[in-house]
Amino acid sequence: MTGPSLKQLHAHHAIHAGALAGAIAKTEELKQFMREENVDKINMAVSELLDYWESRIISHADAEEEENGFYQEIIELKPLLKEEIVALKRDHNLLRTIAEQIKTQMEEEGFSIEILEKFQALIIVNEIHSHDEEQILLANE
């Protein structure tokens, strides 16, 4: 069973907005280290940013998808939203896939501009996902 913050639009939006703001700020920090060409700080920033995505945003997605979690509760209350929830889960999978690509690329090749582009893709997918989730599942609550 999920806590009340996931079920209330204003609270759920605050979770999304706060997490996204942190990801954007950390991505800007990575860009600054790139401008400075500081390899050690770049590598540290990538590691911290990836950890942030996994611990703040992807873990939030995992909680929503738990067996008795938020999405399951929505399906039980509003079975007609099942297809929309499948699409929202697909968004979560995209976030997980991109994060895994970043991790693999850092391990195998090290940092490149593609890593930054993948972090920016995470931001875009997350922005769209959060908006859709809030509108589809919570706007009429």
pTM higher than 0.85: yes
Tell me what pLDDT residue 79 has: 95
pLDDT digits (tens, 9 = 90+) for 61-112: 999 999 888 999 999 999 999 999 999 999 999 999 999 999 999 999 999 9
49/77 Cα distance (integer angstroms): 36
Give the number of domains in the chain: 1
pLDDT digits (tens, 9 = 90+) for 15-58: 999 999 999 999 999 999 999 999 999 999 999 999 999 999 99
Domain encompassing residue 35: 4-138
